[in-house]
Structure 1
Amino acid sequence: MKKVNDDITTFDELKNKEFGLIGTPERDQYEREAEAFIIGVMLKEARIAKGLTQEQLAQKAGTTKAYISKIENNLKDVRISTLKNIIEVGLNGHLNLSIRL
C-alpha cells in the first residue's frame, strides 16, 4: 500500500511489519485473534443496546454468565452454533456469516 506521507504508516503497513505478510503463520494468528476480539465487542455492544446484563443474556440463551463474559473479553473461542443461539435466542437478532476467498 502506498504511503500518503513519509511520516505516516498505514495500518496495513504496521500489520505487515509487526505480524508478517498475509498468509504467514504469525499474521494468520493475528487475524484470527482480531476477529475473535471483534466478535466479543459486537456481542457486548448488542447486549448493552438490548439493555441486558450478562446474566440475563446467559439465562435467555441457556448458557452461563461466565461464558458470555469470556466471549466478550476474548478469553474463549465460541462455536458458531452457540454464537447463533446467543444472538437469535438471547438477543432476538440474526447472525450473518460470509465467506471471502
Structure 2
Amino acid sequence: MLKKTKTLTLEQFKEKHYGKRGSAKRDQLEKGYQEFKLGTLIYEARLEKGLTQEELAEKCGTNKAYISRIENDLKEVRISTLRKIVEVGLGGQLNLSIKL
C-alpha cells in the first residue's frame, strides 16, 4: 500500500523549516537566497554572452578571481561595480527594484 505524503508549497516548506517571515533564521535564508541569485544571474549572463571569467573581468576592469568570487557568492558586490559588470562587461542594462 502506498503511503500518502502531504506536499508542501515552497512557502510552507520555508515556514516549517526556517520559521515565519521576520524571524532571524528565515531572514538569513532569504538574504542568502538573494545573494545566491545574483551570482547565478551573472554567471548565466556571462555564459550566454560566450565570455570566460577572464574576458568579462578584462572588459570591466577587474580580475578573474573577483568575478569568480561574485559568481560563487563568496564576495558581496557594490552596486556601482555590479552596474559596470552588467553594462560594460556584459553589454546589458541593470534594473533594480524594491518590493515592500
TM-score normalised by the chain length of structure 1: 0.90
**Superposition deviation, residue 6 in structure 1:** 6.0
- Counterpart in the other structure of 2:76: 77
**Superposition deviation, residue 8 in structure 1:** 0.5
- CA RMSD of superposed structures (Å): 1.3
Q: Distance in 2 between matches of 1:100 and 1:7?
A: 31
Superposition pairs for residues 1-101 of structure 1, below 5 Å? Answer: 7-101=6-100
**Superposition deviation, residue 77 in structure 1:** 1.0
- Counterpart of 2:55, as a letter, is Q
Q: Distance in 1 between matches of 2:84 and 2:17?
A: 36
Give aligned-pair identity as a percent.
55
Q: Distance in 2 between matches of 1:23 and 1:6?
A: 28
Q: Distance in 1 between matches of 2:26 and 2:6?
A: 24
Provide runs of 4+ in structure 1 moved above 2 Å.
none
Q: Distance in 1 between matches of 2:28 and 2:6?
A: 28
